[in-house]
Amino acid sequence: MDPVPPTAVDSCCLAVTVSLVNAVTNLSSTCSQTYTFTWMATDCCTNSSFCTEVVTLVDTNPPVMLCSPTPVPVECGSPFALVPPPAIDACCGTNVTVVLLGSSTNFVNFCRYFVTNTWRATDCCTNSTTCTQTLVVQDTTPPVANCATNQTIQCGSPLVFTPPTAVDACCGAAVTIS
């Protein structure tokens, strides 16, 4: 901490010199720090006076957590991990705990749904903040079709047609084949 000297005036002298005589720091914790400064003001006639200034720094601000403002796309059928959003604090730095408070799913249909995660970040001074992070799980990959093997049928024999099969990462076997 860089202390700022107090102002001093004198009725006879235009110039008064203010100097720091003593500084005592009490760093009891990251969350509360006390600085005691002793200042001396000296006029042009070498008369001096002293004052003491106590500055207490406290951390009451929550950490900053960076949740994406727009839904994060995830391909349906792909595994996805719950990744906590980054958080940082002015006093505690990266000494911030991020926990998942809850998760909810809003199904539009099996091909598109939203997962909303609510996170809480708590700094080393117990200040906390929350944010929500939304994933949009969507199916943009076509199903995989498997056609029957080629076959040769004798003329005049009944035609035996083997329909293809298809599977989709999101819909499973519930695929329309036409």
pLDDT, tens digit, 9 for 90 and up, residues 8-27:
999 898 889 999 999 998 88
DSSP letter (8 states) at residue 169: T
pTM above 0.85, yes or no: no
For residues 133 and 68, state if they share a domain. yes
Confidence band of 133 (pLDDT split at 50, 70, 90): very high
46: confidence class by pLDDT, cuts 50, 70, 90: very high
Domain assignment present for 163: yes
Same domain, 94 and 128: yes
What total number of domains does the chain contain?
A: 3
Q: How far, in Å, CA of 62 to CA of 53, rounded?
A: 28
Residues 68 and 134 grouped into a single domain: yes
79 plus 123 within the same structural domain: yes
Which structural domain range is residue 89 located in?
A: 64-138
The CATH number for 92's domain is 2.60.40
Nearest to 13 by CA among 52, 49, 51: 49
Tell me, yes or no, whether 113 and 174 share the same domain: no
pLDDT tens column, 73-91: 999 888 878 889 999 999 8
Quickly state the pLDDT bin for 36 (edges 50, 70, 90): very high
pLDDT of residue 117: 95
Whether 162 maps to a domain, the answer reads yes
Percent of the chain scored above 90 by pLDDT? Answer: 53
> Domain for residue 100, yes or no?
yes
